[in-house]
Chain A
């Protein structure tokens, strides 16, 4: 048996002898006496100590498994912290195998009504396993005897057959932690990359070599044993308009680089460089093999593209056809597990099934199309230092037509050609094709939303306003509006609802065009009558030019932020108002004419006004040119919104000439 190289994890210079050590459990009077956590007096609970130990070893069934031992002790100050006494452990399974949680013990230490220290033990019968979906369950239990000021302590063992998905460790949680320690034992047969995410630093790391810690059926190897410690970890606080907390939460992740089969010495390189991943994807049944099924798709797409010669026409036809063909089954992922043929025949499939079908179909029609792997907004950002395949949870198509890329997702029938759902607009995507090396593409600046409202109104002598309101939506705004309209069984029902929502406004006539022509901007044109003024017996009439969609409060309340504001896309909205006044009226107070902008052309809010005597025109542009605003830009963004609210609040005054 030849000695294998140790993992690359070993950090230089730290070869001191380390003791694998869980913390000492049990009752500690000082912990029970603790009244507040000094470093965060608002905390309802705090992790006093947390310990995890993961090793690759043989489980009882003699299979190589990940064995995770978890141990934690939490101080609960008051009943708002009681939710921390209910523990939920998510576990996964496949059709053949499953993770398992065993050896659960739990104890609560508390001071009883007579001031005596008591302990309550968790009844093993009160541990529940709940099946959440096909591939996931949750093991749940509630610690008994919780009281204000109690200390809970619990342990469990998690055995997972999926050793390739080495357990990450989240140092940070929504309550603070005093001490959190993670130890890993990785036999030389395996090699993982570790990466630390988040803003916090490790308090300590150390590593050592454990001699012959892994033996199985004659195979043996040393292990690297590494300890990661973080101390005084603040609670993680979620802010509005941020992407996945995972992007900011302090945690350590592991990615399998290579492993050697301990029984036959065959080495498998899992993650080395993108070229390896490219190759791996290409030969995988669930990915590359599906992309190669061009013949199947040629046959199936022939009638769809019959008579079409232009690449764009073909691509749009295929896209629309598959959008309608498939009903997404709510499962995500980058693979087509049963293959695209089966998925097509069933009319249903996962994100992988549907979009791999699309990519193959487009290629079969002669349109150069690549796959783009990405991570959705709630799944977090991508590690770009080295390839981590498990970072990706979604796949879309990139069709290259006349030198221009079009990003396509066929799983939602309302998306126009080239438009992605917001969830996909996150960080970077990796473009994979059968014949080229893979490469990165930016996803967060791909598209924008925009709409224009154009109002032509006349104020009548009887106090009513008549005229037309036209709204034009394009890009993502058009998608959102289509979705809103389609929630109703018919356009008439939508208009009826809209009319109902605006009691002062009566829709006399409506015309919605391009509702189903996804590639065209959506337009709504309404002929309206508004009950603006009860009677005209006032010498001055107050009128607000932002009569629809006025912004009345600033969405940003915090003085400063720790995390970026991430909207996913840039936006542009415009208002044009032309209004005629009845004879004898003039404008006493015009609307506020302003021009505010963000630094570095980040955005603007501008109004303009033209008084024409018995008529006026007013227009406004609100524009945000970026998808993401960083914490240092936040104060400007907040202030811009303050100005928007102030400006939109300001009324005009019309005056009757004496």
Chain B
């Protein structure tokens, strides 16, 4: 009898426990619905470090999908490989009223290779499953457990980084033995950490957020770390693919990488070393020496990415690259470093976050997972040069918009060093065009156009430089909006010096560029560089306005007008001056010559959110000015 009673009371307990999780959609606060296609009801991420090579991630998520656009949130994806093993996955589906309608388990998941779109191979697999529910709204509740063999880095906790996703409640708990020390960094967190101990005597660190509204996508927003909440965690002692180490600052992290991952990778054969000596024998200037070797490396190698195991952080052996002529960024940087070493030149292997958006690591928080690319640094006296090693064409010392103006970590024998890459200013990033056209009475255009591309704009036409002329013309016809553009000749020149310049010269004709109507001839004033898109207006803008990179465009076109015509209607001159940009366009007439000048500048920086409407208006004014026509009429 007693046994029966016990069972009964257990049953009651378990029922009431599950009744706490009520996923009725009507319980979601109305405040969370605007701009949301899904709402996290409750997400609990727990990370437990049991040992240096044994960490458990337990993730439990309940998320309500409000409409079809939220389906992506219900698409569960868990990556795994030899060092990161999935221990379990399961889940349930609830309808609008919180009634259980289905279950799923690991066998429902499909397992495929992870593919980043550019690697030949990565040893990452992804188990994924998207519950087949078509009645909106619905809620899925799933949990999975993953065992990881490394403690070098822990995924950042970003409770709300997806646009269109609101959060009722989300928490993160990190637990470890009292002897395992961590550092953490709270970014834009509304509440501080709560520390404590669990029953097993582990230290615990817990963060929680609740009632976060859905993030709206706002153009010209600053980097996410300026406005989204996140927590970063780094270990003091760690193990990674069998290698152990410890760090509490950038110096130690860089030192560990140099000693454990890099120092042993630089061996090259005597033959190659001899060749490098011979190649640079007649050069005394160290910078020119480095340039020679860099160009040798560019001519010899190409980029192929293969990521297996420790190879995610450790480069291929320099000697392997010497044999195979290929490698990823790590391998090619390491190889270049090895080549330079053969002529006694020191250089640093530098890890950085690449991409046109400038992202720097949090400088007061050393951790391994703030980077995705590697470049090389040549620490000349009074002149630090950085080299991008994955391109066969990039000029020596040119970083373009891929790794410019950001902080990186140089891994040197003395330890890690934070450095900053050069910035290309709005003035540097210059596109300068001069055109001279003859307009005939039928509206036909003919003439020449010369354009210089400098700074990050050097790369504007890089994609067609090595194409055959007929393919170049095809691309340029899409680049320039001149109606009926016929390119008779195009020529490119590249000056690959430290301030590289690309020069494009085009000879062209275009029939019916202007149109004749009613004895009047009208034609678009701006033949060469028209702005056509305006950023959309944003109601209740939340974020500051951020312009990632500035530039300057200058166009000067002289039109020789057909004989017997005079200007009937012409655009008014425009001049706009704003803190974030300048625009001017002028038309002047000199005999039968009409001269159009346009100058557009955008300045990088962060501006108050109230500036945003100004920015929209600025672009709108530019679009309108660029769209103007000139009308000519017969007679004097």
A residues at B contact (CB < 8 Å): 41-42, 78-80, 82, 86, 113, 120, 126, 128, 130-134, 140-142, 144-148, 324-327, 329, 346-348, 413, 486-489, 493, 496-497, 499-501, 503-504, 540, 542, 552-554, 557-558, 589, 592, 642, 645-647, 649-651, 653
Q: For the complex, what is the distance from the CA of A653 to the CA of B524, rounded to whole Å?
A: 15
Q: For the complex, what is the distance from the CA of A487 to the CA of B478, rounded to whole Å?
A: 29
The minimal Cβ–Cβ distance linking A109 to chain B, given in whole angstroms, is 13
Nearest residue, chain B, Cβ from A323: B134
Q: For the complex, what is the distance from the CA of A554 to the CA of B513, rounded to whole Å?
A: 12
Q: For the complex, what is the distance from the CA of A542 to the CA of B468, rounded to whole Å?
A: 43
Are A86 and B120 in contact, CB atoms less than 8 angstroms apart? yes
The minimal Cβ–Cβ distance linking A198 to chain B, given in whole angstroms, is 22
Are A649 and B629 in contact, CB atoms less than 8 angstroms apart? yes
Known contacts A42-B468, A557-B477; A487/B120 CB under 8 A: no
The minimal Cβ–Cβ distance linking B510 to chain A, given in whole angstroms, is 10
B residues at A contact (CB < 8 Å): 35-37, 66-69, 110-113, 115, 120-121, 125, 132-135, 164, 275, 299-300, 302, 304, 306, 323-326, 392, 466-471, 474, 477-478, 481, 483-485, 512, 515, 517-518, 520, 522, 524, 532, 534, 536-539, 569, 616-617, 619-620, 628-629, 631
Are A650 and B483 in contact, CB atoms less than 8 angstroms apart? no
Nearest residue, chain B, Cβ from A647: B515
The minimal Cβ–Cβ distance linking B67 to chain A, given in whole angstroms, is 6
Nearest residue, chain A, Cβ from B67: A489
Are B132 and A327 in contact, CB atoms less than 8 angstroms apart? yes
Are B67 and A132 in contact, CB atoms less than 8 angstroms apart? no
The interface centre, meaning the residue of B66, B133, B474, B484 with most chain A CB atoms within 10 A of its CB, is B484
Known contacts A130-B115, A493-B35, A503-B617; A651/B134 CB under 8 A: no
Known contacts A503-B616, A589-B518; A146/B132 CB under 8 A: no
The minimal Cβ–Cβ distance linking B461 to chain A, given in whole angstroms, is 15
Given contacts A326-B132, A646-B483, 9 further A-B contacts (CB under 8 A): A80-B467, A128-B120, A130-B121, A132-B113, A133-B112, A557-B478, A592-B517, A642-B484, A642-B512
Are A327 and B134 in contact, CB atoms less than 8 angstroms apart? yes
The minimal Cβ–Cβ distance linking B575 to chain A, given in whole angstroms, is 14
The minimal Cβ–Cβ distance linking A485 to chain B, given in whole angstroms, is 11
- Residues of A close to B485: CB separation below 8 A: 557
- Residues of A close to B616: CB separation below 8 A: 503
Are A646 and B512 in contact, CB atoms less than 8 angstroms apart? yes
Q: For the complex, what is the distance from the CA of A425 to the CA of B483, rounded to whole Å?
A: 31
- Residues of A close to B620: CB separation below 8 A: 503-504
Are A42 and B471 in contact, CB atoms less than 8 angstroms apart? yes
Are A145 and B536 in contact, CB atoms less than 8 angstroms apart? no
Known contacts A324-B134, A347-B134, A489-B164; A131/B125 CB under 8 A: yes
Q: For the complex, what is the distance from the CA of A649 to the CA of B512, rounded to whole Å?
A: 12
The interface centre, meaning the residue of B392, B532, B537 with most chain A CB atoms within 10 A of its CB, is B537
The residue that B326 contacts in the complex, of A42, A142, A347, A557, with Cβ under 8 A, is: A142
Are A133 and B537 in contact, CB atoms less than 8 angstroms apart? no
The minimal Cβ–Cβ distance linking A32 to chain B, given in whole angstroms, is 16
Are B120 and A145 in contact, CB atoms less than 8 angstroms apart? no
Nearest residue, chain B, Cβ from A643: B512
Are B324 and A650 in contact, CB atoms less than 8 angstroms apart? no
- Residues of A close to B164: CB separation below 8 A: 489
Are B483 and A651 in contact, CB atoms less than 8 angstroms apart? no
Are B481 and A552 in contact, CB atoms less than 8 angstroms apart? yes
Q: For the complex, what is the distance from the CA of A413 to the CA of B35, rounded to whole Å?
A: 22
Are A542 and B470 in contact, CB atoms less than 8 angstroms apart? no
Are A79 and B68 in contact, CB atoms less than 8 angstroms apart? no
Known contacts A324-B134, A346-B132, A557-B474; A646/B515 CB under 8 A: yes
Are B325 and A144 in contact, CB atoms less than 8 angstroms apart? yes
- Residues of A close to B300: CB separation below 8 A: 147
The residue that B132 contacts in the complex, of A329, A499, A557, with Cβ under 8 A, is: A329
Known contacts A142-B120, A554-B484, A642-B483; A347/B132 CB under 8 A: yes
Known contacts A140-B120, A327-B134; A489/B36 CB under 8 A: yes
Are B515 and A650 in contact, CB atoms less than 8 angstroms apart? yes
The minimal Cβ–Cβ distance linking B338 to chain A, given in whole angstroms, is 16
The residue that B302 contacts in the complex, of A146, A329, A486, with Cβ under 8 A, is: A146
Are B474 and A133 in contact, CB atoms less than 8 angstroms apart? no
- Residues of B close to A589: CB separation below 8 A: 517-518, 520, 631
Are A145 and B324 in contact, CB atoms less than 8 angstroms apart? yes
Are B110 and A146 in contact, CB atoms less than 8 angstroms apart? no
- Residues of A close to B518: CB separation below 8 A: 589
The minimal Cβ–Cβ distance linking A318 to chain B, given in whole angstroms, is 16
Nearest residue, chain A, Cβ from B38: A489
Are A497 and B474 in contact, CB atoms less than 8 angstroms apart? no
Q: For the complex, what is the distance from the CA of A645 to the CA of B121, rounded to whole Å?
A: 47
The minimal Cβ–Cβ distance linking A138 to chain B, given in whole angstroms, is 9
Known contacts A132-B113, A133-B112; A79/B392 CB under 8 A: yes
- Residues of A close to B468: CB separation below 8 A: 41-42
The minimal Cβ–Cβ distance linking B125 to chain A, given in whole angstroms, is 7
Are B629 and A651 in contact, CB atoms less than 8 angstroms apart? yes
- Residues of B close to A651: CB separation below 8 A: 522, 629
Known contacts A144-B323, A327-B133; A645/B483 CB under 8 A: yes
Nearest residue, chain B, Cβ from A555: B478
Q: For the complex, what is the distance from the CA of A557 to the CA of B485, rounded to whole Å?
A: 8
The 6 closest A-B pairs by CB, nearest first: A42-B468, A348-B132, A500-B536, A128-B121, A500-B537, A144-B324
- Residues of B close to A552: CB separation below 8 A: 481, 532
The residue that A542 contacts in the complex, of B299, B304, B539, B569, with Cβ under 8 A, is: B569
